[in-house]
Chains A and B, each alone.
Chain A
Amino acid sequence: MIKPIQANRVASRTILYILLVIVLLFMAFPIYYMVITSLKTPSEAYRLPPTLWPQTLTVESYPFVIEAWSYWRTLANTILVAGTAALAATILGGISAYGFSRMEFPGKAILYGMLVATIAIPGMVTLGPIFLAYKDLPLLDTHMGLILVFAAEFIPVAFLTMFSYFKAIPKELDEASAVDGSRLIDTMFRIIFPIALPGFAVTFLLLFIAGWNDFLFAFTLTITPDTRLLTVRLFEVPVREGVNRTPYDLIAAGGVLILLPLIPILLRVQRQLVEGVLAGAVKE
């Protein structure tokens, strides 16, 4: 005999799991479909209705995309641009966030408001002016140009993330450090920043992924193949000679090649990401 309360609990659990599975399917299916399509032959990839499992497994599309994209070169470009921008933004945003979290100064509220407001400005709005300015500077079609734009876009985000993280670190630690004989710079780099390291790591990785995913700026501000990033390459669909239809298998393989390098990072930091996004609390 199952008691009513227990039965109730089992029922609600079951419903919860069913909902979770549905959500998971929604999120995972496109990825699954991308992966299997990349493993199909060109003709099967084009077939309607589509097959849910390749009839002929082949990895033939991969070497083609790697070759056509100069994949390794493009991958290095992407890591360089996303990595440098994320690192710069994390450090600069972190330092300013520390100042805002600990100090009072005239105009603080206004500066804070302006910094946060910049997040709300759509990229499309600034794209044109930046393009024109870059043409004259000249930063157009350079990695430095992309890094600057990405970093500028990322700094407010890094600032906000690190600001809440620093807020959660008790002020007494700064004070203890000051009484112990620290200068401000000692307190920052020897006490508070090491404690905030998980926050810095999470911020960096989130921004790195954001940089990895950016298309708009990367597409507009680069021209030659040498400076292109992965997402832009995906837009420039590679075609096989003499084939006059959309190469779904190649697009899918490209998608996998963009996603694949992120997976080890995501797996490694998944736990920290969840914790870092939910709370910056520091164990006292």
Chain B
Amino acid sequence: MIGSHMLMAALEKQMASVSINDVQKRYGSYHALKGVSTQMADGEFVVLVGPSGCGKSTLLRMLAGLESISEGTIEIGSRVVNDLRPKDRDVALVFQNYALYPHMTVEQNMSYALKLMNTPKSVINEKVGNAARILNITELLKRYPRQLSGGQRQRVAMGRAIVRDPQVFLFDEPLSNLDAKLRVQMRAEIKQLHQRLKTTVVYVTHDQVEAMTMADKIVVMRDGIIEQVGSPIELFDRPRNTFVAGFIGSPSMNFIPGSVKDGLFVARAGVHLPLPDGARVDAVTYGIRPEHLKLGEAGFPADVIVIEPMGSSTQIIAKVAETVITVLSTERLALQPGSTIYLTPHVESVHLFDPGGQRIES
């Protein structure tokens, strides 16, 4: 009996995929989401990333049931949830400002959802105890939110989600209110938590570093549409357009305008850049990441504007043919602003884009 029960539970868990089909959102005349489709597999860690106003939070809130869906369908598991209230969707949401109930202790915060479901007291205690142990907040259970630090509040907010054992975890910029050091630490903890719980996660952030480090799959959004979906490495290696290319990766990719002539890319001021074999002639943008530019005696010249030593590497801001570019070098350099450097691009890592900003596959 117990065996079959566990099997049932396992099967139910397996159904926690998310399917978003041509979803649109209108606020009056404002078209916030213009037809978005993507699939999220069970247990996948999906990050929605994009600049503010791109619709990523709206999409997450539609998943949670906090915003209505103007058109299209959203499925969680095998159920279409369009008309289900938040309480019936079996999702948990972690808010940017944590949204802890200020008049309840940590323990009461975490057990509130279970109490609403009339869960027996002993089960509540066990689940809250377990979640507290996982998150290392057992000694905080009797405290009130105002007595906690930012990082502790963040943990409690996650604890409140974990005790629910939901089909899908939703995170809305959960680390934005933390200081830089804590953010890095919590980033790793959330990822670890996901590896342990193996529940589907949809995570919204504007920070591409968070997206890269945490995601199994990244959904890049802009102006209410999806620009590209893929694994972090796919997006990094093969960005579909200049937007994704510029958004993913830090420091950002350099874009140099120009045209293809005689197997070379000719930028303004007559600077010639090498191209991979068989490059198409309609390329007008030459994309190269800062770490794929090599300093040396030969290559194209650039005038140094600013040098930013970061310890393990040095970032050089320089000017090539009226375009400001960034170069990343791991060597210790004795450069001065105003001096001229010579750069050689790693030809295999060159990205070319057509006049519409779309990637040209070579």
Contact = CB atoms under 8 A, between A and B. Distances in A.
Interface residues of B, number: 23
Contacts of A114: none
Contacts of A191: 101
A166 to B, nearest CB: 14
Given A186-B116, A283-B146, A179 B93 contact: yes
A180 B102 contact: no
Given A172-B95, A186-B116, A179 B102 contact: no
Given A170-B99, A195-B103, A175 B93 contact: yes
Which interface residue of B85, B93, B99, B146 has the most chain A CB atoms within 10 A?
A: B99
B48 interface: no
Interface of A: 170, 172-173, 175-183, 186, 190-191, 194-195, 197, 282-284
Given A181-B87, A182-B116, A195 B92 contact: no
B137 interface: no
Given A179-B66, A183-B87, 11 more contacts: A175-B64, A175-B99, A177-B112, A179-B65, A179-B92, A180-B116, A181-B86, A191-B101, A194-B103, A197-B103, A282-B102
Interface of B: 64-66, 85-87, 91-93, 95, 97, 99-103, 112-113, 116-117, 146, 160, 164
B91 A172 contact: no
A200 to B, nearest CB: 13
Contacts of B112: 177, 180, 190
Given A175-B93, A180-B113, A180-B160, A283 B87 contact: no
A181 B95 contact: no
Nearest to A284: B97
A181 B102 contact: no
A179 B101 contact: no
Nearest to B88: A181
A23 B280 CA distance: 85
Given A181-B113, A182-B116, A176 B146 contact: no
Given A179-B65, A179-B92, A181-B117, A283 B99 contact: no
Nearest to A197: B103
A279 to B, nearest CB: 16
Contacts of A172: 95, 97, 99
Contacts of B87: 178-183
Contacts of A283: 102, 146
A282 B116 CA distance: 25
B101 A173 contact: yes
Contacts of B65: 178-179
Contacts of A178: 65-66, 85-87
A283 B97 CA distance: 12
> Which 10 pairs across A and B sit closest by C-beta, in order of nearness?
A172-B99, A176-B99, A180-B113, A181-B87, A181-B116, A178-B86, A179-B93, A179-B86, A194-B103, A172-B95
A183 B85 CA distance: 9
Contacts of B146: 283
Contacts of A179: 64-66, 86-87, 91-93
Nearest to A190: B112
A183 B116 CA distance: 9
Contacts of A195: 101-103
Contacts of A180: 87, 112-113, 116, 160, 164
A181 to B, nearest CB: 4
Nearest to A178: B86
A283 to B, nearest CB: 6
B204 to A, nearest CB: 14
A175 B102 contact: no
